[in-house]
């Protein structure tokens, strides 16, 4: 199979088992578009712009309540300023999670403003998690700039993360019905911590033998680390929008399945993706020895021992990528991603909402799988 990532794509097929995926030219977008509901996407950038414009004043007001130095670090992490407080020219994030919160409120039949506090809280928590993740992972850059711990120091970055977490809880607690929202956020944070802990521990476990990481453990880790906060974003908007428990649970399920799908698609791109699109070197995840879903599946195949030897030595990542594909790691990952994306659609079918709110939510979820978050 050619290894030129620029010629690869993920595509659905009408042949074979229902919902099967085949490995052809690789773009995450084809996977998302084929797996979620058919139809023309709403203009997702416009949806994101609308939600950011709605949420930004409240987010700035919340950050303005922090200690000035801590507030500067928070503003830097959002892309609003440079070190020292000068206005930034760098762009911030896309605001996907805050958009999910606003759309979650609208899907529950509430006006968009009902989701603003939820959006602020989720954006604060997401940024808190990035500050701490960058420290744990030793990442020195994010979105083309030094990470907060590199710019300000490790201790200050930890402090800023803690402040954002506390501010998120305060924001929700001040809302009518805030106690239920705080409980929803607390459950998601507990799962996020469990997922992060498992991910860190996976790195120290062997490639082979009874202690190796199994694919089902990875699914659980991905749901917790990536899916919990996505599900929480949509669910929080619904909670503050007055939705019933069934709607809240359905939105949470949709986000969790989406998180697993997103993580597995990212794993596939981390081995076979086009570096001009991913911004990562070819076979980057293999060079770093990451225990990703395609790798874990392949390690269970008859040639798993040979693959493990290559991964342990760090030699010949090109050969390892070929063997992982021959062992079924890539095809199994694509099938697993599709299964979770289909589960997203099933969960959304249980959400009573207007046609516009439902389609915008579906469009945003498609966007999440085919674009970097």
Q: What is the chain's mean pLDDT, rounded? A: 85
What's this model's pTM, rounded to 2 decimal places? 0.84
Amino acid 107: pLDDT: 87
For residue 358, what pLDDT band results from cuts at 50, 70 and 90?
Answer: confident
Q: Which of 261, 262, 267 is nearest to 288 (CA)?
A: 267
* Rounded mean pLDDT, 344-357: 82
**In this predicted model, which residue has the larger pLDDT, 39 or 131?**
131
pLDDT tens-digit series, residues 129-171? 999 999 998 989 988 899 999 999 999 999 999 999 999 999 9
> What residues contact 198, with CB distance under 8 A and at least 6 apart?
217, 220, 221, 224, 225
Confidence at residue 282, expressed as pLDDT on a 0 to 100 scale: 79
- Residue 187's nearest CA partner among 111, 239, 260 is 239
pLDDT at 372: 43
What is the structure's pLDDT at 186?
95
pLDDT band at 91 (very low <50, low <70, confident <90, very high): low
Q: How far is 230 from 223, CA to CA, in rounded Å?
A: 10
Read off the pLDDT of each residue in 175-191 and give the average, rounded to a whole number: 94
Phi and psi for 369 in degrees, rounded to 5? -75, -35
At 176, give phi and psi (nearest 5°). Answer: -60, 130
- In this predicted model, what pLDDT tens digit does every residue of 241-299 receive, in sequence order? 999 999 999 999 999 999 999 999 999 998 998 887 766 777 888 988 899 999 999 99
67: helix, coil or strand? coil
Query: Which position has the higher pLDDT, 239 or 143?
Result: 239
**pLDDT for res 370:** 67
| Nearest in space to 127 (alpha carbons), one of 93, 150, 101 | 93
Q: What percent of the chain has pLDDT over 70?
A: 86
Sign, CA torsion 12/3/327/267: negative
In this prediction, residue 29 carries a pLDDT of 44
Rounded Cα distance, 91 and 349, in Å: 35
Three-state secondary structure call for residue 81: strand
pLDDT digits (tens, 9 = 90+) for 52-66: 999 999 999 999 999
pLDDT at 112: 92
Bridge partners for 142 per DSSP: 145
How far apart CA 96 and CA 20 sit, in angstroms, is 29
CA distances from 191 to 69, 159, 352 (A): 30, 22, 27
For residues 104 and 118, the answer to whether their CB atoms sit within 8 Å is yes
Q: How far apart are CA 199 and CA 114, in angstroms?
A: 35
In this prediction, residue 363 carries a pLDDT of: 84
pLDDT at 127 exceeding the cut of 90:
yes
Of 9-23, 69-83, 203-217, 307-321, the least confident: 9-23
Question: Mean pLDDT throughout 168-181?
Answer: 93
Lowest mean pLDDT among 125-134, 231-240, 360-369: 360-369
Q: Does 179 have pLDDT greater than 60?
A: yes
- Give the confidence band of 180 by pLDDT, cuts at 50, 70, 90: very high
- Quote the pLDDT of residue 349: 86
């Amino acid at each position: 199979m050619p290894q030129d990532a620029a010629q690869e794509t993920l595509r659905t097929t009408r042949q074979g088992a229902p919902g099967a995926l085949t490995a052809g030219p690789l773009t995450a977008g084809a996977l998302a578009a084929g797996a979620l509901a058919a139809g023309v996407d709403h203009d997702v950038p416009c949806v994101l712009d609308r939600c950011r414009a709605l949420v930004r004043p409240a987010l700035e007001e919340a950050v303005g309540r922090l200690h000035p130095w801590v507030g500067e670090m928070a503003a830097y992490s959002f892309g609003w300023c440079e070190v020292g407080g000068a206005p930034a020219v760098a762009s911030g994030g896309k605001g996907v999670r805050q958009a999910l919160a606003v759309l979650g409120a609208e899907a529950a039949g509430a006006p968009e403003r009902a989701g603003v506090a939820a959006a602020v809280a989720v954006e604060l928590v997401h940024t808190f998690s990035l500050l701490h993740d960058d420290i744990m992972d030793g990442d020195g850059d994010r979105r083309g700039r030094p990470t907060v711990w590199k710019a300000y120091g490790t201790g200050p970055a930890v402090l800023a993360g803690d402040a954002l977490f506390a501010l998120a809880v305060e924001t929700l607690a001040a809302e009518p019905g805030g106690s239920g929202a705080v409980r929803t956020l607390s459950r998601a944070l507990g799962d996020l911590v469990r997922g992060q802990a498992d991910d860190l521990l996976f790195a120290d476990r062997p490639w082979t033998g009874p202690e190796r990481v199994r694919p089902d453990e990875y699914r659980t880790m991905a749901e917790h680390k990536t899916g919990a906060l996505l599900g929480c974003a949509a669910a929080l908007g619904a909670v503050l929008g007055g939705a019933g428990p069934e709607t809240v649970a359905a939105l949470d399920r949709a986000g969790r399945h989406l998180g697993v799908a997103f993580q597995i698609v990212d794993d596939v791109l981390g081995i076979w993706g086009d570096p001009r699109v991913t911004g990562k070197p070819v076979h980057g995840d293999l060079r770093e020895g990451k225990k990703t879903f395609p790798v874990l599946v392949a390690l269970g195949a008859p040639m798993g021992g040979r693959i493990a030897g290559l991964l342990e030595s760090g030699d010949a990542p090109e050969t390892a990528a070929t063997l992982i594909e021959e062992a079924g790691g890539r095809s199994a990952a694509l099938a697993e991603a599709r299964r979770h994306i289909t589960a997203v659609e099933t969960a959304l079918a249980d959400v009573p909402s207007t046609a516009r709110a439902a389609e915008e939510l579906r469009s945003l979820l498609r966007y999440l799988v085919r674009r970097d978050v």
